[in-house]
Amino acid sequence: SFILFDNDEHNQTDNQNHRSRLLEFEVDTDKMYANVTWEWIAPETFYSGWYGDCDLLPNNNRLGGFGTSWHPGTRIGARLVEVNYNGDIVWKMDFDKINTESFAVYRMERFHFAPIVSEPRLIDLGTNGSLVEWDVWYNFRSKTVFKGLYFITVDGDLVETGTIDFPKYWKPATKSFHLNESYSDIEEIALIVADEGGHLSNDSDIYSSTGRLLFKSESGLALVLGLSLGLGTSILTITVILTRLILNRKTLSLKREIV
């Protein structure tokens, strides 16, 4: 599938009525045709004949940049939006003109300060127990594969840790944990992920998972930890420090509730 920004500059049916849009489509190379799978047709006041951008975010929303320095019927320059699958604007930023000065945006990117963790999936394996899966993304849409660390706890006890590769271009990495019969009475399970600088995925409630399972941490701990480790610190050192923090419940409290 492909995702792109359609400026509608070359409208072949109504060249006096331009409506830029965010567009996704799939290509069938056997039958040689393309099928539109999703689109968001922006209002006329968003029309941008150039400087357009569209990206798929880890939360399945679309980030759109209508970047021209003017928009019809407004005193607004570049217009940036985040749109959910239903076509609702959930975030936006307008660059208003200041006197005669106007502003344009060629392209934009969404940055997080720590890795992103999806809401977990609880998969019933019948007599073999259950499987808990998470999708994990790097802090931003990188062109480089970065390495980090992950930690899984059950009822506060660290049961698994290791390294994780964050794929390029915001493709997800999947982590899973098998809950066999020995875990039949558990109450809590947690996943926490750290990037190469020690920044934790549950640093902020804004980016933490919500739903079946929840992360909770002491306020400010992850930020202090990340700054103290620094980007040049080795993975081994990060592992030692984070493991000590996770094992100490008074220092870091993680909780996930299965319903």
Any idea what the CATH number is for the domain that residue 120 is in?
A: 2.60.40
- The residues pairing with 6 across neighbouring beta strands, listed in sequence order, are 21
Question: Are 21 and 88 in a shared domain?
Answer: yes
pLDDT given at position 185 = 78
Q: How confident is the model at residue 214 (pLDDT cuts 50, 70, 90)?
A: very low
- Asked whether residue 257 is domain-assigned, the answer is no
Question: Are 43 and 158 in a shared domain?
Answer: no
- Asked whether residue 106 is domain-assigned, the answer is no
pLDDT given at position 186 = 78
Question: Are 228 and 120 in a shared domain?
Answer: yes
Distance from C-alpha of 17 to C-alpha of 87, rounded to nearest angstrom: 21
Return mean pLDDT, the chain: 79
Amino acid letter, residue 107: R
The alpha carbon of residue 187 and the mean position of all alpha carbons in its chain are separated, in whole angstroms, by 27
pLDDT given at position 242 = 54
Percent with pLDDT over 90 in the chain: 53
Distance from C-alpha of 191 to C-alpha of 255, rounded to nearest angstrom: 9
pLDDT (mean) for 243-258: 39
CB distance 210 to 193 below 8 Å: no
Q: Residue 25 corresponds to which tokens in the numbers above?
A: 């489509």
pLDDT digits (tens, 9 = 90+) for 131-173: 999 999 999 999 999 999 999 888 878 889 999 999 999 999 9
pLDDT given at position 138 = 95
pLDDT given at position 106 = 93
- How many domains, in total, are found in the chain? 2
- Asked whether residue 109 is domain-assigned, the answer is no
Distance from C-alpha of 208 to C-alpha of 185, rounded to nearest angstrom: 25
pLDDT given at position 256 = 39
pLDDT digits (tens, 9 = 90+) for 15-26: 778 899 999 999
Of 136, 111, 122, the residue nearest 201 (C-alpha): 136
Give backbone dihedrals phi and psi of 241, rounded to 5 degrees, phi first: -65, -45
pLDDT given at position 26 = 95
Asked if residue 109 has pLDDT above 60, the reply is: yes
Percent with pLDDT over 70 in the chain: 78
User: Where in the sequence is the domain holding 238, given as residue range(s)?
Assistant: 116-247
96, 127, 155 — which closes off a domain?
Answer: 96
